Amino acid sequence: MTDHTDPQRRTMLRNTVAAAAVLGSAHAAGAATAPPALDKPLKPTLTAFESQAGPKPLAFDPAKLNGLSEKIIRSHWENNYGGSVKALAVIKKRLSEALADKDLPPYVYNDLKREHLLRTGSVVLHEHYFDNLGGNGQAGAPERKVIADAFGSFDTWETEFRRIAAGLGGGSGWVVLGYNTYTRQLENYWLADHAHGPAATLPLLVLDMYEHSYQMDFGAAAAKYIDAFFKNIQWEAVASRLASLSRA
């Protein structure tokens, strides 16, 4: 049961309710509604060619997940996600150097930009994936309402999310519950890889369906991995992402 006496949790619930109101208002207004003007200039944390210092630490104890082994989580975090963080740093350094080379053909530069796109997608999606693990899999009432309002019912959303994931079993890709800031819709998305995602979409819940996410624990039984994922969803992370919409 959710402990509604916890102050941090109460604040998160209020923010999620506020996000629900924002999503509802946006849906009613339609896609043609102009976005609000920025009240202050954006301040990127890093400049264009800089990279983060290293992999983002796990926010949970990987030995305490329900049905997902510590071994697979650590391997996934260190090798697949960590490898992309390191590769992205290398690519950004090479891009900075290559830009200064006036004789470098544009198509050669674009080979680096393609890798930049792939590695950026991998880092962002992996960080969302790991951040929405470590919970008890029980969505709170505000999160359920936001999703139910968008899909007709919470069960309809879960059925589609699971079906997309099952269709990716044995291959590669991602499943993302996201809010599209242009169409102003909450939808589930199928992603074939790190590079091809829906435009103008903020990820709210991310599931990695690359085989490295589950093969060590489940072999080819992707359905068992999907079940385990749902048991470990950190819905507080989803609520926090929803709340960020209301702040935006």
Q: What is the pLDDT of residues 105-140, one digit of tens each?
A: 999 999 999 999 999 999 999 999 999 999 999 999
Would you place residue 44 in the very low, low, confident or very high pLDDT band (cuts 50, 70, 90)? confident
Q: How far apart are CA 70 and CA 8, in angstroms?
A: 28
Taking only the tens place, the pLDDT of each residue in 57-94 is: 999 999 999 999 999 999 999 999 999 999 999 999 99
Two tokens, residue 3? 């402990």
Q: What is the DSSP string of 210-225?
A: SGGGTHHHHTT-HHHH
pLDDT at residue number 48: 92
Q: From 3.40.140.10, 1.10.10.10, 3.90.1150.180, 3.55.40.20, which CATH number describes the 136-247 domain?
A: 3.55.40.20
pLDDT at residue number 45: 84
Angle, alpha carbons 25-190-60 (nearest 5°) = 80
Q: Domain 69-131 is of which CATH architecture?
A: Orthogonal Bundle (1.10)
Backbone angles phi, psi at 33, to 5 degrees: -65, 130
Residue 226 has pLDDT above 70, yes or no: yes
Contacts of 245 (CB under 8 A, 6+ apart): 19, 22, 23, 179, 202
Residue 199 burial (C-beta neighbours within 10 Å; 0-12, 13-18, 19+): exposed
Would you place residue 142 in the very low, low, confident or very high pLDDT band (cuts 50, 70, 90)? very high
Residue at 138: amino acid letter? Q
Residue 18 has pLDDT above 80, yes or no: no
CB 230 within 8 Å of CB 137: yes
Q: How far apart are CA 141 and CA 4, in angstroms?
A: 11
Residue 210 has pLDDT above 80, yes or no: yes
Mean pLDDT of all residues in 191-219: 96
pLDDT at residue number 122: 98
pLDDT at residue number 247: 76
Torsion angle of C-alpha atoms 51, 52, 54, 57, degrees rounded to 10: -150
Using alpha carbons, list the distances in angstroms from residue 186 to 25, 68, 126, 138, 235.
Answer: 13, 28, 21, 20, 16
Contacts of 102 (CB under 8 A, 6+ apart): none
Residue at 154: amino acid letter? F
pLDDT at residue number 2: 42
**Domain residue extents for the chain:** 69-131, 136-247
